């Protein structure tokens, strides 16, 4: 007696999450597919960082802004690579979340220019976190090779964002 699954029960969204794939495979093999008990929530503190969000998609900007607001960060947006360089030369930020695929100038080129002093020598060492839907190892390597300091996959998960930004708080 086979249980018939609706076709939508077998859809996985990109970028593919390992846990979602594992749960689907368990379900297809006849297991219950129930996830393990989630880890206990990590207590969060107010991070008080100034963050530059380099992102051309308005929905991603809004969601990221809401998350940053929840953990006590202030933020500004830049919608393309040229705006990133302009903002960094005019304002002080603690960290930059850098979309890799923006118009005018992509995040890889912007990062190379920042590292070479293209936004001023004061910001050449700003922590730059890749913020991209490209989760393949080649994309991650390209991010690090361009001078980025870390990597956050899209869609952004709140806990991952908090953990990576916590590394850059002044204690």
**pLDDT digit string, tens, across residues 56-104:** 999 999 999 999 999 999 999 999 999 999 999 999 999 999 999 999 9
- Name the residue with higher pLDDT: 150 or 5: 150
Strand order in the sheet with 150-153: 74-78, 50-54, 95-99, 128-132, 150-153
Instruction: Give me 70's structure tokens.
Output: 């929840």
The pTM score is 0.74
């Amino acid at each position: 007696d086979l249980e018939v699954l609706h076709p939508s029960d077998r859809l996985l969204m990109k970028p593919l999450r390992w846990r979602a794939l594992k749960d689907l495979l368990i379900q297809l093999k006849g297991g219950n597919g129930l996830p393990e008990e989630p880890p206990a929530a990590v207590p969060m503190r107010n991070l008080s960082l100034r963050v530059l969000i380099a992102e051309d998609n308005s929905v991603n900007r809004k969601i990221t802004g809401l998350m940053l607001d929840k953990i006590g960060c202030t933020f500004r947006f830049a919608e393309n690579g040229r705006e990133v360089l302009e903002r960094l030369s005019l304002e002080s930020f603690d960290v930059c979340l850098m979309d890799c695929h923006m118009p005018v100038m992509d995040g890889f080129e912007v990062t190379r220019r920042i590292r070479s002093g293209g936004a001023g020598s004061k910001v050449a060492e700003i922590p730059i976190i890749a913020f991209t839907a490209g989760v393949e190892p080649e994309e991650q390597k390209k991010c690090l090779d361009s001078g980025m300091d870390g990597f956050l996959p899209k869609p952004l998960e709140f806990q991952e964002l908090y953990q990576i930004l916590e590394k850059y708080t002044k204690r």
